[in-house]
Amino acid sequence: MSKLREFKTDVLVVGGGLGGVAAALAALRAGRTVVMTEEYDWIGGQLTSQAVPPDESSWVEQFGITRSYRQLREGIRSYYRDNYLLTPESRACSEFNPGAGWVSRLCAEPRVAVAVLEAMIAPWRGGGQLTVLQPYIPINADVDGDVVKAVTLKQRNTGELVTVSAEYVIDATELGDLLPMTGTEYVTGFESQSDTGEPSAPAEAQPNNEQSFSVCFAVDHVDGDHTIDKPKNYDFWKTYGPDYWGGPMLSWSAPHPRTLEIATRSFTPNPDDDPRLVKADQRLNAGDSNLWTFRRIAARRNFVTGTYVSDICLVNWPMIDYLEGSIIDVSEAEKERHIKAASELSYSMFYWMQTEAPRVDGGVGFPGLRLRGDVTGTDHGLAMAPYIRESRRIKSVTRIVEQDLSHEVRGEAGAVSYRDSVGVGMYRIDLHPSTGGDNYIDVASCPFEIPLGSLLPIRMKNLLPACKNIGTTHITNGCYRLHPIEWNIGEVAGALAAHCLNNGLTPHGVQENDNELSEFQTSLQNQGVEIHWPEAKAY
């Protein structure tokens, strides 16, 4: 039997999604050594392996994100300018949107984001300060009281085991996997209204009621018949739909997130639109009336004629939200069963689009649609990883509740301004249908802050969250889960671990002591982290 490989580092980051990469970079910039692990073949999480274009605020080009997240965004644009055959007009556009999707000002192909993220960490890997273990999955933790000493991980393909000991451990996994392994107190699903006081919370806690997840996929449309084999469970999914859906989920219709009325979208592949005229601003236009352009990630007219034979469209629509069960705190077999079923739903949606979907010309089906697994980095055609909206969440020093940022509650006063703010974010409270049978929950929010106390477990001393596992509630997770906010959270977690190591401090001590807190906040601002909004607006 081969000897168990062992690593020792200052900071261990488990999970290489957006929060994990940001955490690693922040700790590295502060002079610490880092081991970062990742389960999938790509780093970048929801932006890459999950294939979801970034959900961002309307002011993302001006303010409201960290400097390093802006470097990521501009790096993606630069990558296109340096490597792709863009039209002169697209190349000259300062706010170039490769896909001209309506959901985001920066809809791009996942591979480009992977390339930019890899470039951001490359100098540290080359210098030996950063070790990346990929693809590795955490399976066990060595804990002494309220201190995590080490984490054991398994190589996904070979089963090889490694153990990493560290002064600080950062949980950047998509589901908060380290929380049960380390005995860290956490919650799942809905909290009760009597507990949180939230207007949108139920009377009783529902710990197994979580937001749906989705297995996304990319498509294009070309001449010919590219119809896939009929999925095994297609007949089940063809008629499947909760009562509030108004019919089967495999359709162009779904509840409107804000009004809950059934809305019917259109789907027109390759419209001859001008990508430079797309102004993605969710305040002004939801942009989902034509699902083709909603999350388009490559607009062919942005490129020299002939470079792309078709636009590329990313399918992350309500119709593929998986509602049949949770993948949190279930057996590994149960988790895999649900992920497989979610994949079957996605295949069924694609087959329905190819064969039965109504067209605006009165016909049915789009046999010219192709799955673009090459775009998502897979042989099976779907995204590499499921798109996760909700995680286990730490029981934290500060819990963020709906009434802290709801516009209906806070009005012109704006969201609560926290003494220990370490970042900002903005998105509506957007909760997708859940495993417990709930429809959308949508609440207008105010631009909000990220309190440091929400990153601090109530007991554990050296474990920090860096993803969707901070101290939100089920409700407020709906707006703290988006791309730039996750990056900000991760960046702060990595910076805090390094700051404590460099100055002989503890995370809780930094948060509790006004002078120590002020010094840490100043260091964050010097790194380009915005900790307050320039002014409050309703979204």
Determine the pLDDT at residue 350: 98
CA 169 to chain CA mean position, Å: 21
What residue segments make up the domains of the chain, in order of their start? 5-53+109-191+390-506, 217-376
Phi, psi of 486 (to 5 degrees): -60, -40
pLDDT of residue 364 exceeding 50: yes
Mean pLDDT over 434-462 rounds to 97
Place of tokens 């980051």: 13
* Nearest-angstrom CA–CA distance, 215 and 2: 37
Between CA 187 and CA 190 the distance in angstroms is 9
Banded model confidence at residue 285, pLDDT cuts 50, 70, 90:
confident
Is residue 280 over pLDDT 50? yes
Q: How far apart are CA 74 and CA 62, in angstroms?
A: 13
pLDDT at 127 over 90: yes
Is residue 110 pLDDT above 70, yes or no? yes
- pLDDT of 3 strictly over 80: no
456-472 pLDDT per residue, tens = 999 999 999 999 999 99
Encode 408-444: b = buried (16+ Cβ within 10 Å), e = exposed. ebbeeebbbebebbbbbbbbbbbbbbbbbebbbbbbe
The answer, yes or no, to whether residue 2 has pLDDT greater than 80, is no
In degrees and rounded to multiples of 5, residue 170 shows phi and psi of -115, 120
142 has pLDDT over 60: yes
Average pLDDT over residues 357-386: 97
- Is residue 404 within 8 Å of 416, Cβ to Cβ? yes
Question: What does the pLDDT average to over 116-130?
Answer: 98
Q: Which residue has the higher pLDDT, 287 or 146?
A: 146
Assigned token pair, 285: 């236009």
The greatest distance separating any two alpha carbons of the chain, rounded to the nearest whole angstrom, comes to: 70
User: Percent of the chain beyond pLDDT 70?
Assistant: 99
Q: Amino acid identity, residue 297?
A: I
Q: 213-234, pLDDT tens digit by residue?
A: 999 999 999 999 999 999 999 9
DSSP single-letter state for residue 318: G
- What CATH homologous superfamily does 5-53+109-191+390-506 map to? FAD/NAD(P)-binding domain (3.50.50.60)
Query: 141 with 182: CB under 8 angstroms?
Result: yes
Helix (H) or strand (E) holding 507: helix 507-512
Tell me the pLDDT tens digit for each residue of 307-339.
Answer: 999 999 999 999 999 999 999 999 999 999 999
pTM above 0.85, yes or no: yes
N-terminal to C-terminal alpha carbon distance within the chain = 59
* pLDDT tens sequence across 394-416: 999 999 999 999 999 999 999 99
**Given this model, what pLDDT does residue 475 score?**
98
Instruction: Determine the Cα–Cα distance for residues 313 and 117; give it in Å rounded to an integer.
Output: 22
What is the mean predicted confidence (pLDDT) over 427-453? 96
pLDDT in tens, 7-64: 999 999 999 999 999 999 999 999 999 999 999 999 999 999 999 999 999 999 999 9
Residue 539 has pLDDT above 90, yes or no: no
Q: Which residue has the higher pLDDT, 270 or 283?
A: 270
